[in-house]
Amino acid sequence: MEKSKLLKILKEKELMVSPEGLMELLQLDSPNEIIDELSRRNVLVATKEQIVDIIESNRVSQNVTQVEVIAQTSYDPIAKSIKPRLELSIRNDITGNSRCTGSVEDFVRYFNSRFDKHRRNLRGMASNVGLSSIRDVKNLLKNKESRVIAMVYDKRVTKNGHLLFEIEDDETTANLLIPKDSKLFYDASQILNDEVVAFDVYHAESSLLIGKNFLRPGRLLQERTKRLADEEVYIGFLSDLHIGSKYFLQGQFQKFLEFINGKGTAEQQEIAGKIKYISIAGDLVDGIGVYPSQEKQLVTKSIHTQYEIFCEFLKNIPEHIECIIAPGNHDAVRVAEPQPALPQEFWESVKDYKNLHFVGNPSAHKVHGLELLMYHGTSLDGIISHTQMYKDGYDHPEKVAVGLLQRRHLSPLYGEDPLVPESNDYMVIEETPDMFHFGHVHKNGYIENYNGTMIVNSGTWQDRTDYQVRLGHMPTPCIFPYYNLKTGKLNHLNFRDG
């Protein structure tokens, strides 16, 4: 384009461009689309880097192969005739409810909320000894056994090898000792800071409380039986697509979209035809600036373009399938949990698609009468690194999920991963879910029935990254789990090679 004509357009748009940026625009036959995007972003002085970023993003977006669904007269999905029964965000969803300002009072209310919710669960558990406050045990119940409900402030191993806890309730604190020769020692060593636990203790003449037993809030899980739906419909699980990353396995994901539209073998058509719901548990895109030098790993360096591509994929999900979509730590919401739903500016192009539902992380929903708890899973990193019991957690994330259910908390270790101190602790698992879906660690893991709860980690659609190679992590990409809500059977399809 001629320089005089380009300068006229820039003047009309009230847009200034650096000399290097101007040279980039002059090389384009039609820079209007780039100029419009700069204006949309409210850029005052456009740099060469910003202009190149938009050019590259547009090039990638134009090269995204759209899935052309070929109608098949023989394919008539059963799920299409079944009425959806979906209640969104029945609990845990912070979207529209965040009131935190970061004050000291917020932190006090947050920990009080956590403590009170767990105390209600623990009070209902049977005990051969009486329930007392820490103050009463210290002052009135010497040489007697009692139960106290307390939050763990700190733990350490003494020079003699014993396990020493500093515990607290809403009145006072105490030191609690688990002797090194106690049968409780190993299990007690897996207790995390900030857990709320019921300790059965003995108060001797010393100032120490001696631990005799302990219970977590999830103990009541053992009394549950598995609940099932009254219609045979399936729910499928996705997470960690990481669209925009050079490792995103686009071809395999397109195969999945073809499958969900009935293109496949007779067996695959039968499976696809019963899928009524899809849960997507975060990291929809790879994001921008999530970690140092991330731009080297990206093929799409515009966050808006990443979501535009994601939305194009969403448009290929059949309208009779209800899709519940939560964010993760790579998405364009606050990093700290709980996270609100993805803002509409990033899914404007699908706002009229009534089967697409954007929710917070975590969040709980009623799906055909069963409760689904969705959580991206960021807390797994801290728990795996701090707990010997879960040292193989990256290979078996379902084991860590069991630990979260036992603790009835999705991020029990405060301070390891960013948490917002809301006055209500949205990370507490207040009601035991029928299905617990999470992601984050890029490794499929399943437990079909853990005391009435189906646990699934849906893996990833991103290939193994350089970072994972350095850590020795082996992801399991392109495995699609699906769950029969009537029979309680969990299966999967592998799109990596097929």
**Residues 218 and 357 both lie in one domain:** no
Confidence tier at 468 by pLDDT (50, 70, 90): confident
- CA dist 119 to 114, 167, 335, 437, Å? 9, 14, 29, 26
Answer with the one of 176, 199, 222 that is the final residue of a domain.
222
pLDDT of the residue at 321: 97
The whole-angstrom distance between residue 7's C-alpha and the CA centroid of its chain comes to 47
Q: Rounded to an integer, what distance in angstroms lies between the CA atom of residue 94 and that of residue 280?
A: 17
For 22, the domain range is 3-63
The answer to whether residue 433 sits within a structural domain is: yes
- 245 and 345 fall within a common domain: yes
Choice among 62-71, 223-232, 369-378 with the minimum mean pLDDT: 62-71
**Which of 222, 254, 279 marks a domain boundary?**
222
Is residue 107 in a domain? no
β pairing state of 370-375 and 435-438: parallel
Residues 197 and 252 in one domain: no
Nearest alpha-carbon partner for 288 in 248, 329, 249: 329
| 323 and 372 together in one domain | yes
Domain holding 303: CATH number? Answer: 3.60.21.50
Among residues 194, 121, 156, 151, the alpha carbon closest in space to that of 419 is found at 194
The Cα 406–Cα 19 span in angstroms is 61
**17 within domain boundaries:** yes
Tell me: do 182 and 274 sit in the same domain. Answer: no
Asked if residue 117 belongs to a domain, the reply is no
N- to C-terminal Cα separation, the chain:
47
Rg (alpha carbons) of the chain, rounded to whole number: 26
Same domain, residue pair 252 and 214: no
Say which range, 66-80, 135-149, 311-325, has the weakest mean pLDDT.
66-80
In a domain, 377, yes or no: yes
| Number of separate domains in the chain | 3
On the question of pLDDT at 70 being above 50, the answer is no
Q: How many Cα atoms are found within 13 Å in the side-chain-facing hemisphere of 42? A: 0
Q: Does 418 lie in the same domain as 285? A: yes
Q: Looking at the structure, tell me whether residues 207 and 297 fall in a common domain.
A: no
Establish if 32 belongs to a structural domain. Answer: yes
Could you give the CA distance from residue 346 to residue 303 in angstroms, rounded to a whole number? Answer: 9
- Structure confidence by residue, pLDDT tens digits, 35-68: 888 887 777 788 887 887 777 666 655 555 454 4
* Domain match, 52 and 189 both: no
**Same domain, yes or no: 349 and 438:** yes
* Pair (164, 229) in one structural domain: no
The reply to whether 298 and 157 lie within a common domain is no
Of the residues 205, 222, 239, the one at which a domain ends? 222
Continuous segment of H or E residues that includes residue 118: helix 104-123
